[in-house]
Copies of this chain bind each other. A is one copy, B any other.
Amino acid sequence: MSGQYTDLGALICELARSFYDLGWVSGTGGGICLRDGGRVVVAPSGVQKERMRPEQMFTIALDGALLTRPADPALRPSECSALFLKAINLRGAGAVIHSHSIHAVMATLLFDAEFSISHLEMIKGITGRAYHDRLVVPIIDNTARECDLADALEEAIVAYPETYAVLVRRHGAYIWGADWVAAKTHAECYDYLFRAAVEMRRAGIPTVMQGGTDDASLSTRRAAAADRT
* Chain A interface residues toward B at CB < 8 A: 26-29, 48, 100, 102, 105-106, 108-112, 119-122, 125, 130-132, 141-144, 168-172, 181, 184-186, 188-189, 192, 195-196, 199-203, 205-208, 214, 216-217, 219-221, 223-224, 227
Contacts and interface: CB of A to CB of B under 8 A. Distances in A.
Contacts of A195: 102
A109 B171 contact: no
Given A27-B186, A48-B181, 19 more contacts: A27-B125, A28-B185, A29-B122, A100-B192, A102-B192, A106-B199, A109-B216, A111-B224, A112-B217, A120-B170, A120-B171, A121-B171, A121-B172, A130-B144, A131-B144, A131-B170, A141-B214, A201-B223, A202-B203
22 contacts: A26-B188, A27-B189, A29-B122, A48-B185, A106-B199, A106-B200, A109-B205, A111-B220, A111-B223, A111-B224, A112-B221, A120-B171, A121-B168, A130-B144, A131-B170, A132-B144, A201-B203, A201-B223, A202-B202, A206-B227, A207-B227, A208-B227
A100 B59 CA distance: 37
Contacts of A106: 196, 199-200, 203
Given A102-B192, A192-B26, A202-B203, A216 B170 contact: yes
A119 B142 contact: yes
Number of copies: 4
A122 to B, nearest CB: 6
A168 to B, nearest CB: 7
A185 B27 contact: yes
A220 to B, nearest CB: 5
